[in-house]
Amino acid sequence: MNAHPPLRRLAAGAVALWLLAASAGAALAATPDPTIPPAWPIDTSLAYSWATGAVPPSIIRTAVDAAAADANGSRGSRAPSFAYSSAGSNAVSYGTSNPCGVNGLACFSRDPARGYWHLWFRENGHRYDWGTLSWCEMTGSPYGCFRAETITIDEFGHVAGLDHHVNLASDSDYADAVVQASSHARAQVGWNASAFGRCDVATLQQLYDVASWTTLYSTCLDVPTSVTLGVLSTTAKLGTLVTFTATLQSAGTARLAGNPMAGRAVVLQRLTGTTWTDLATMSPGTTAGTYRAVYAPSATQAYRAVFRKPANEGVRASTSSSLTIVVVCTTSPCSLQAGTAGTGGSR
């Protein structure tokens, strides 16, 4: 049953956007959630308090606080964080007085320009034309109940700027998002989600950037990457060490462009004949997104850096252009002085 009709969206602009997204057609693969603009500034703290005269029962308050922790802990980005504060200027309401539409379980309004949002929960036992609302936390989780904690994550997602996930025609990707037009009751898939889904996180990362340079990109994304390889000199005396430095960055759009990518596996490869072979997995460099390997070449050969697509991350593989280290002074005694040999120069 549709427990989250579009009527629950209160901002006129948001309704128009939702219609646009819904008419975009069936997606062929899991896609990031659509957005409800505008976004908040990155790293915004959104404190809430209980609405005067509409304070939720304590068990619902506990569920809302748990959902705040769930959202904060799973956003994977610099999206707004949620926390209760007695002085919080944003409100959470519970009860019969709400603008949630005929089928809404809960609903929200948001106005990032004015820095304000509001959540409403319908009262337990509310009679719809399809049946009676049961909040799992209040009713001992019978079949058909709705979990307030999970519904709150959906609402926090909306407040942050997410619109409902566009599921595949089969609905097989339902678990990829909590921000869903039809919230699931117990015991349908996803009814008790305690974290944003990967396609919720994908859009939060697009809107608010990744949380840190080691944060993994959601597997609901497909972000290109770029890796480069450099050395101080492309000429080396036989037996001396060459320091290779690779730089790995995201090459997506907007906030996902040019981010250093730290904590990944970047491999230094060497060309032997016509075959590239792995020489070493490079170590973290001194700055985020750089990687380092030290090697003493025994002959003039070409090198490159490779970033392979990780199974747990929504980014693409990349390969640097190659560079050739010319090995000089291969016979003893060597007549050349360090720094004057060859044509490599420094850069």
Given the rule CB under 5 A, which residues bind Zn ion?
A: 4, 154
H-only helix segments in 161-244: 198-208
| SS3 state at 121 | strand
In the bound complex, what is the minimum distance in angstroms from residue 46's beta carbon to Zn ion? Answer: 17
In the bound complex, what is the minimum distance in angstroms from residue 195's beta carbon to Zn ion? Answer: 16
Nearest one of 112, 3, 141, 118 to 56, comparing CA atoms: 118
In the bound complex, what is the minimum distance in angstroms from residue 37's beta carbon to Zn ion? Answer: 16
Query: Among residues 4 and 110, whose Cβ is nearest to Zn ion?
Result: 4
Query: Among residues 150 and 250, whose Cβ is nearest to Zn ion?
Result: 150
Give the span between the Cα atoms of 205 and 199, in whole angstroms: 10
Query: Among residues 33 and 154, whose Cβ is nearest to Zn ion?
Result: 154
What is the DSSP pairing of strand 242-251 with strand 257-260? Answer: antiparallel
Query: Among residues 154 and 176, whose Cβ is nearest to Zn ion?
Result: 154
What is the DSSP pairing of strand 318-319 with strand 323-328? Answer: unpaired
CA atoms within 13 A on the CB side of 219: 10
Query: Among residues 107 and 266, whose Cβ is nearest to Zn ion?
Result: 107
Q: Are 216 and 202 in contact (CB under 8 A)?
A: no
Query: Among residues 154 and 173, whose Cβ is nearest to Zn ion?
Result: 154
For residue 49, the cross-strand partners are 91
In the bound complex, what is the minimum distance in angstroms from residue 4's beta carbon to Zn ion? Answer: 4
In the bound complex, what is the minimum distance in angstroms from residue 158's beta carbon to Zn ion? Answer: 6
Give the span between the Cα atoms of 122 and 9, in whole angstroms: 15
Q: Are 48 and 88 in contact (CB under 8 A)?
A: yes
Query: Among residues 5 and 342, whose Cβ is nearest to Zn ion?
Result: 5
CA atoms within 13 A on the CB side of 73: 8
Nearest one of 296, 225, 233 to 266, comparing CA atoms: 225
In the bound complex, what is the minimum distance in angstroms from residue 33's beta carbon to Zn ion? Answer: 10
In the bound complex, what is the minimum distance in angstroms from residue 153's beta carbon to Zn ion? Answer: 10
